[in-house]
Amino acid sequence: RLSRVGDIADLRTIARRRTPRAAFDYVDGAAGAERTHQGNRAAFDDLVLTPAILAGNAEVDLSTTIAGRRSALPVGIAPTGFTRMMQTEGEVAGVRAAEHAGVPFTLSTMGTRSVEDVAAAAPAATKWFQLYLWRDHEASRALIERAWASGFDTLLVTVDTAVAGLRLRDTRNGMTVPPKLTAGTVLDASYRPQWWFDLLTTDPLTFASLSGSTSDLASLINGMFDPTLSIEDLAWIREIWPGKLFVKGVLTADDARRSLDTGADGLIVSNHGGRQLDKAPVTLDALPEVRAAAGDDVEIMFDSGIMTGSDVIAALALGADFALIGRAYLYGLMAAGEAGVRKVLEILEREMRVTMQLMGAADLSELTPEMVRRIER
C-alpha cells in the first residue's frame, strides 16, 4: 500500500484512519485556535520558487554538515513526546529510519524509549537529545549524562515550554497519558483493533520520565517542567553539557543574541509546531530576523510546518541550514511504523531532488533568498 502513497498528506490520511482520535489529534493539533499552526503552513503555501531552465544539472547533491557531522539530507527527525502512543514501535522506528537514510534523529526528554534503547537500536545513526529542564535540575543533569554516555552528541534545549500550551483538541478528547480505558476508548478499539492489540501486546507503554499515574497532559507537564526556566539555567546547561548545544524555540533577534551570548553553538527557529504560544510568529517570517541577528556563521535549524521537500528547500533558501520534521515523521509512524517513517524520508528526498533540479540548483550552497518570493493573496 505504501507504493501508492504520493506525499506526506497521503500518509496523514492513512494515519488518521489507523490511530485513535485522541492520539492522532495530539499530533495533528496545536495550541488555542491553531492560528500559528495554520500560519506556518500558509506561509509555505504562499511561496513561489523561481525555476531555472537550461541549467544543465543532471545531478543534485542534498548532503550537508550540521552540528559537526555529515547528513545525507538537510533534514532530521525532531524530538516528539509520547511517541509510542502514536504507534507502538515509537522512537525505535524513528531512529532506524534515520540511520537508513543517513540523517540525525532526536530523542525527546518526553520520549517513550530510553537513551540506551535508542542507541542500541541504531548504533550508526547520528543521535541528538532534546532537553526540557525539569523542576529537579539534578534529575535533568543525570538524564543528559546518560544521553552523552550513550552517544548522543548534540543537545537541543527547548525553551518555549515554561508552561504547557493550551491544546484544546486534547481537552476536548479527554486525552490522558497513558490512555485510560473508558467507554470512548473501548468503542475506539472496535474500529482500530490493531492499534490496541499492538499497545497491549508489546512491551508495556512506559515513559522514561513519568510515574505510573494517568494524567491529562497539561497537569503532567506543568508538574514536571521548571516554569522559572531562565537564561541562567541555559548557562548552567551549557556548563554541564560537553557537546554541541542548540537552543530550540528562538523567534526573535533578541533571543537569538542572548542564546548565542550564553554559549549556544546554534539556534532552532521554532514555534513548537504552533503547539505552545498561539499567535506566535510564523517560523518562515521569523527566520530572516534570526539569521540577521545570528550572522552567517551560526548554524540555524528550522522547524514547524514542513510537509514537503519544497518546504525544506524554501526554508534553506531563506536562511536555514537544516530542517527538522515532527508531525510529518509521526504521520509516517502512525501510518506504517518504521516503513512509514522511511517512506516520509524517501518522499522528502525525492521532492527536494526534483525541486532543486527544476530550480537549477546543483547543491544546497546554491540556494539564495532571491529564489523564493512571497505572494500576497
Q: Which residues bind ligand HOC (CB under 6 A)?
A: 81, 110, 161, 164, 221, 272, 275
Smallest separation (angstroms) from ligand HOC to the CB of 158: 7
Select from 211, 249, 274, 231 the least CA-distant residue to 28. 274
Closer of 39 and 326 to ligand HOC (Cβ): 326
Whether the CB-CB separation of 143 and 254 falls below 8 Å is answered with no
Pick the catalytic residue from 37, 100, 137, 272: 272
Task: Tell me the angle at which helices 283-294 and 309-317 cross, rounded to the nearest 10 degrees.
Answer: 30
Shortest Cβ contact with ligand HOC: which residue? Answer: 81
Strand 69-71 to strand 64-66: parallel, antiparallel, or no bridges (unpaired)? antiparallel
Torsional sign, CA 144, 145, 149, 155:
positive
Torsional sign, CA 241, 286, 30, 344:
negative
Closer of 104 and 309 to ligand HOC (Cβ): 104
**Distance from C-alpha of 163 to C-alpha of 220, rounded to nearest angstrom:** 11
Smallest separation (angstroms) from ligand HOC to the CB of 62: 27
Smallest separation (angstroms) from ligand HOC to the CB of 110: 5
**Distance from C-alpha of 187 to C-alpha of 191, rounded to nearest angstrom:** 7
272 is catalytic: yes
Smallest separation (angstroms) from ligand HOC to the CB of 275: 4
Closer of 113 and 291 to ligand HOC (Cβ): 113
Closer of 93 and 367 to ligand HOC (Cβ): 93
Whether the CB-CB separation of 126 and 69 falls below 8 Å is answered with yes
Strand 154-158 to strand 127-131: parallel, antiparallel, or no bridges (unpaired)? parallel
Enumerate the active-site residues.
Answer: 272
